[in-house]
Chains A and B, each alone.
Chain A
Amino acid sequence: MFRAIIFSAVLAGLVGGVTATVAQSVRVIPLIRAAEVYEQAARAQPDISEIESHDHAEGHAWAPQAGFETIITTLGANILAGIGFALLITAALMLHGDVNWYRGLLWGAGGFASFALAPAVGLPPELPGMAAADLMGRQAWWMGTALATAGGLGLLFVGRRPKWAVVGVMMIIAPHLIGAPHVNAPDTGLPPELIIEFGIASLVANLLFWAALGIASGLLFEKLRPAP
């Protein structure tokens, strides 16, 4: 059974990763490149030298060359993320309800809500050089929010008991009552329109990513799982 899950998730991750890379190349990646121009310009000014502290360390460690290498590493990272998320979707498909493309799409919608939409409410999708709070704090809030939302949605839609549904709603709301970490880094002068456009573009690309992942996971696991 485990082999079937792995095989199915790897193939679904490939489908999702390729879909994401194509979707991102329309607006998301060009906006990241545009933001980096502002980031470089801000770094060149001596009075905002604190930005240096959350530098990419590009000069020290290996980094992909702009162009072909960046496209390949981004595609690879998107596929790996796709495999990781597809493993979660496939586990969910296996444990609850039917296994088909539509069920996969529903689990994918849950994944989008938990891992993209809910964290974006408190932490707007980040462009390079955007003013932001301490990384560890943001990562912890992001992870906590994603897990609480996934758990809450699970209780709401899978639990089927009024009491559990109330707990589910509380889990979904709680991270936003606690609040995302506050900004403490200097602004690098990114135009607000760029940040808003990036937020919309990245959520749209993520929606396509999760839809492809969900449908592919459902279809593939339906075909590949061992017969009962």
Chain B
Amino acid sequence: MTENTENGSSVSQSRSRENERIADILPAFAAVLLGGFILYGVGFAGADVLHNAAHDSRHAITFPCH
């Protein structure tokens, strides 16, 4: 009996841990996407205004520039 309850609680624990894991992955994925978008704008986007504004920063952070 005691064994069964222990097993049952460990199963539900591991399941809730799995749910937590999934709840973590989505926001982390969204953060990576947003980070990539910002970095593209700062480091790679071709628009002259963006290039000129970020010029020194692009060179300093060693992005390829012009």
Given A54-B66, A139-B64, A83-B53 contact (CB < 8 Å):
no
Mark each residue of chain A from 74 to 104: 1 if its CB lies under 8 Å from any CB of chain B, else 0.
1011101101111110111011000000000
Q: Across the two chains, which residue of chain A brings its CB closest to B39?
A: A84
Verify B35–A85 contact, CB threshold 8 A: yes
Q: Which of B34, B47, B57, B66 meets A81, CB within 8 Å?
A: B57
CB-contacts of A94-139 with B (<8 A): 94-95, 116, 119-120, 123, 125-128, 132, 135, 138-139
Verify A70–B48 contact, CB threshold 8 A: no
Verify A78–B57 contact, CB threshold 8 A: yes
User: B1: CB under 8 A from chain A?
Assistant: no
What's the least CB distance linking A127 to chain B, in Å?
A: 7
A interface secondary structure, majority: helix
Verify A80–B62 contact, CB threshold 8 A: no
Chain A contacts of B55 at CB under 8 A? Answer: 56, 63, 73-74
Verify B34–A87 contact, CB threshold 8 A: yes
User: B19: CB under 8 A from chain A?
Assistant: no
What's the least CB distance linking A34 to chain B, in Å?
A: 12
Verify A91–B39 contact, CB threshold 8 A: no
User: A227: CB under 8 A from chain B?
Assistant: no
> In the complex, A94→B24 CA distance in Å?
7
Verify A56–B56 contact, CB threshold 8 A: no
Given A87-B31, A91-B35, A81-B61 contact (CB < 8 Å):
yes
Given A20-B60, A84-B39, A139-B64, A64-B53 contact (CB < 8 Å):
yes
Would you list 29 pairs from A and B whose C-beta atoms are within 8 A, ordered by A residue? A2-B27, A9-B35, A28-B60, A29-B56, A29-B60, A32-B59, A54-B66, A55-B66, A56-B66, A61-B49, A61-B52, A64-B53, A73-B54, A77-B54, A81-B42, A84-B37, A85-B35, A88-B35, A91-B32, A92-B28, A94-B27, A120-B62, A128-B65, A139-B63, A142-B63, A202-B59, A202-B61, A205-B60, A228-B20
Q: Chain B: residues with CB nearer than 8 A to chain A?
A: 20, 23-25, 27-32, 34-39, 41-44, 47-49, 51-66
